Copies of this chain bind each other. A is one copy, B any other.
Amino acid sequence: MEGIRIIEVKESIFEDNNRDAENLRCQLKEEKTFLLNLMSSPGSGKTSTLLALAEELKRRGNPLRWAVMEADIDSTVDAQTIENAGIPSIQIHTGGMCHLDADMTRQGLTELKKRMSAEEDPQTDLVILENVGNLVCPAEFDTGAVKNMTILSVPEGHDKPLKYPLMYETCHLLVVNKIDVEPYFDFDREKLVEFARKRNPDIEIIFISAKTGEGIDKLVDWLTAQTEDWIR
């Protein structure tokens, strides 16, 4: 295994990010790649959810060819962890920026293609972009992803949709993580669902524990169906 590929993305030159994001989605459709934008607070379990996904996909005989782009302000901790689990991965450094836009995502995808050329089969059906841990700014910028997913972990509390409305409005899937520690927190599932649906009546919700693996099968079902629907 070679060292982690790090790309320092540059600030976008495009004035109209929304149009640029649409262009990127068209390109992804042509290339038959489903891009998922994964967002959450710091420490909600984005990387450990990816590791749990890897395990369940492996158990199913790897039906998807997939790769991961890890975005962080600094460090290569996450990309290294993902590579160690056997998933091709690159690290995107945002240089202090609190989010990714479509052009920065495109820069990452270009670098990912170089990384994939080292693989026997360089095609990716699914690319997961782990965005910067932040509930505010990433929600404001369309990355060009086909779908947006956010993770809320039980210890953060069920009131988050009230405080970070845009994150819930822009996400297609809400994954509630760390349900294994639910007995130790004052967490109200019904209220969470009520608050999340208030922001976004169409949001899908899956409860998981990345640690114990509970619910991961549902998440893999969702991801597989979404990817197949996009690339067929």
Contact = CB atoms under 8 A, between A and B. Distances in A.
Interface in A174-217: 178, 180-181, 184-185
Interface in A1-44: 41-43
Contacts of A228: none
Band of interface residues on A = 20 to 34
A163 B96 contact: no
Nearest to A48: B157
A137 interface: yes
A192 B231 CA distance: 43
A88 to B, nearest CB: 21
B135 A133 contact: yes
A73 interface: yes
Given A74-B165, A153-B155, A43 B160 contact: yes
A214 to B, nearest CB: 15
A69 to B, nearest CB: 16
Contacts of A77: 159, 162-163
A180 B184 CA distance: 9
Q: How many copies of this chain sit in the oligomeric assembly?
A: 2
A149 interface: no
A166 B72 CA distance: 13
A140 interface: yes
Nearest to A94: B136
A134 interface: yes
A160 B165 CA distance: 24
A160 B96 CA distance: 15
A133 B41 contact: yes
A163 B72 contact: yes
Contact of A42 (B41, B73, B181): B41
A155 B43 CA distance: 7
B96 A135 contact: no
Contacts of A222: none
8 nearest CB pairs, A to B? A43-B156, A155-B155, A98-B136, A75-B162, A41-B42, A41-B41, A43-B157, A98-B137
